A and B are shown apart, each in its own frame.
Chain A
């Protein structure tokens, strides 16, 4: 079944003076995706999003929303998008509800019931009539998402939606994004430099580094299906010997996560052979398991160690 492309970028390029901030960026987001746009700080994520939304002009390339060129057919393209670019923005001296009313008016009129609905969806129904300047960071992020969702857009673009949130707040936003996709049938384009967040929520991702996409694909394809890394638990004082043993016997490149916990890429190693060899060599193995390679490990493989990624 062919997927409908809701957001397409083709060879988007942006120069700021002589600096090429984004280089030939091409990507396609299909209906129903939660699409992750991952990259370190300064990689060009926000610049790309601003080009996709028509907030800035690209030096080269096109961006289309539901097939409409964002610049040439702005008024046809933009109603399909709800966006929160680099943090939420409001009039702090007004209530959340009044902020939504103002934005609703600019979207062509939104009934009061829809305002109630989005406030309820983001969990701000009780605080909707309070002034935004009294909101916590998490409440502001949620109000930002409510603003983006207000006019029922089929595509939601969120730039770093969990910025500045504590783990509880991050979890709330993640759940909210899933709920929005499932309950409102919204396609979500999510940018972040937080690998863990992307891994937990996205179906597809593209990785951007130095303004260029270096990888795009399904999350499972990129990080593996479930047993790429072997985790061996041995007695803590046997850790070093065990690492030497694994290097010699299996030609592996083990890493000691902490005393007694050793991890290495599985490659062609069979776990039952490994288990037998460790026991026969006299190691006191408490467990031997496999796990999926993390996005962080994959990211480091692609971009090297010294990147600003959490």
Chain B
């Protein structure tokens, strides 16, 4: 094996070990375990409440298990973002708070490997949350309306079950873009803080700043020309946390028998550009934070 490939082999092996160690630490940390249990309980209780409201009040009822699941996962992704944000803040902040960074950094682990491993662990945490939400939403959708091929009002089959699951898979992958940007912000904040409380409080304030500004009706727009067409991007779109609902909006249409011809719509492109830019900034800042900082012991 050449020196270069040996080096990259060692890099991935070390990152894998760090991620494994992180998962062991998190699975024994009550706050994280309770966080996931809370997300599960809220997902189940919320789905039951949604069904009750649909049945009791005059409102658009879900016409299929998929419709119900997609409606509900939209809500889950909305409410769970602050939970996930705080949990990912803890992921790095617990190392600083317990002074265990010095244990890690006096082993054959570089700071770059350390921060990359935290990003991968954060991705696993986000995927675990999405898995819980999909599992609960689809189960409840099946329970109340049944799954199987999607049919329209005249009982004609619109999409097969496989098609539905494939599209939901794509939507989930796209949802990772804004959710991982939120995770990057959490890791950046916690890589600069010296206490867990500080990381959580400051991180939460920054998160809420983006959340609140996203709902302010700012009228200014930026015109962008793409594929010979001019698109207008409202300034409030730059408050990226709200971008997390965009992939689900397309899934929402799918549940009404509207075919998704392309996922690469302007909505998704703008989401990718905005979140990508923010992710890059947060990633570089967290890298610099971990690399340059002298963690006071």
Contact = CB atoms under 8 A, between A and B. Distances in A.
B208 interface: no
Contact of B21 (A54, A92, A102): A102
Interface stretch (B107-115, B129-137, B146-154, B230-238): B107-115
A107 B103 contact: no
Nearest to A157: B106
Contact of B25 (A50, A53, A102, A107): A102
Q: Which residue among A53, A55, A79 has the maximum number of chain B CB atoms within 10 Å of its CB?
A: A55
Contacts of A94: 25, 28
B128 to A, nearest CB: 20
Interface stretch (B56-64, B94-102, B262-270): B94-102
Contact of B103 (A79, A81, A103): A103
Given A85-B102, A92-B98, A106-B109, A56 B28 contact: no
Contacts of A86: 297
Interface residues of B, number: 26
B21 A91 contact: no
A107 B108 CA distance: 6
B291 to A, nearest CB: 10
A53 B108 CA distance: 11
Given A46-B297, A91-B28, A102-B24, A79 B108 contact: yes
A202 interface: no
B116 to A, nearest CB: 14
A50 B99 CA distance: 14
A147 interface: yes
A105 B29 contact: no
A106 B94 CA distance: 17
A184 B95 CA distance: 30
Nearest to A102: B21
Interface string A90-117: 1111100010011101111000000000
Nearest to A107: B107
B53 interface: no
Nearest to B22: A102
Contacts of B110: 74-75
B99 A89 contact: yes
A74 B110 CA distance: 8
B30 A93 contact: yes
Contacts of B17: 105-106, 108
A98 B104 CA distance: 15
Contacts of A78: 106-108
Given A46-B297, A98-B28, A89 B106 contact: no
B28 A93 contact: yes
B18 A106 contact: yes
B228 interface: no
A102 B21 CA distance: 6
A154 to B, nearest CB: 15
B163 interface: no
Contact count band on A: 20 to 34
A90 B102 CA distance: 10
Nearest to B10: A75
Contacts of A107: 107-108
B108 A83 contact: no
A99 to B, nearest CB: 9
A24 B10 CA distance: 35
A101 B94 CA distance: 18
A89 B17 CA distance: 19
B224 interface: no
Contacts of A147: 103
Contacts of B295: 55
A46 B104 CA distance: 17
B106 A83 contact: yes
Contacts of B25: 91, 94, 102
Interface string B277-297: 000000000000000001101
Contact of B102 (A74, A89, A106, A108): A89
B9 interface: no
Interface string A39-81: 0000000100010011110000000000000000011001101
A101 B27 CA distance: 14
B106 A91 contact: no
Interface string B7-28: 0001000000110110011001
A150 to B, nearest CB: 10
Interface in B15-49: 17-18, 20-21, 24-25, 28-30
Contacts of A50: 294, 297
B104 A90 contact: no
Contacts of B94: 91
Which 4 A-B residue pairings sit nearest by Cβ, starting from the closest?
A: A89-B99, A106-B107, A83-B106, A56-B294
Interface of B: 10, 17-18, 20-21, 24-25, 28-30, 94, 98-100, 102-110, 294-295, 297
Interface of A: 46, 50, 53-56, 74-75, 78-79, 81, 83, 85-87, 89-94, 98, 101-103, 105-108, 147, 151
30 contacts: A50-B294, A55-B294, A74-B108, A75-B10, A78-B108, A79-B107, A79-B108, A86-B297, A87-B99, A89-B98, A90-B100, A91-B29, A91-B98, A91-B100, A93-B28, A93-B29, A94-B28, A98-B24, A101-B24, A102-B21, A102-B24, A105-B17, A105-B20, A105-B21, A106-B18, A106-B104, A106-B108, A107-B107, A107-B108, A147-B103
